[in-house]
Amino acid sequence: MSALGANIEKVPADLLDQPLDYILTDHGRQRTVMALLDQMMKGASNWQEIADELVADISVEMKHHVQDEEEDLFPLLRRRCRPEDEIDTVLSRLSHEHKKSERLAILIVEQLRDCVDQGNPPWKSEELQTMVSEFTGAERLHLALENSVILPLARARLTIGDLSLLSANMIARRAPTRC
**DSSP labels, 87-125:** HHHHHHHHHHHHHHHHHHHHHHHHHHHHHHHHT--GGG-
* pLDDT for the residue numbered 176: 73
Q: Is the pTM of this model over 0.85?
A: yes
pLDDT of residue 179: 43
Cβ(151)–Cβ(23) under 8 Å? yes
| Nearest Cα to Cα of residue 151 among 35, 17, 25, 14 | 25
The CATH number, out of the four listed (3.30.1960.10, 1.20.120.520, 3.40.50.720, 1.20.210.10), of the domain defined by the range 16-173: 1.20.120.520
- CA distance from start to end of the chain: 45
Whole-angstrom Cα distance, residue 47 to residue 121? Answer: 7
What confidence score (pLDDT) does residue 18 get?
Answer: 97
- Digit-by-digit pLDDT tens for the chain (179 residues) are 334 456 788 899 999 999 999 999 999 999 999 999 999 999 988 899 999 999 999 999 999 999 999 999 999 999 999 999 999 999 999 999 999 999 999 999 999 999 999 999 999 999 999 999 999 999 999 999 999 999 999 999 999 999 999 999 999 999 875 44
Q: How high is the pLDDT of residue 177?
A: 56
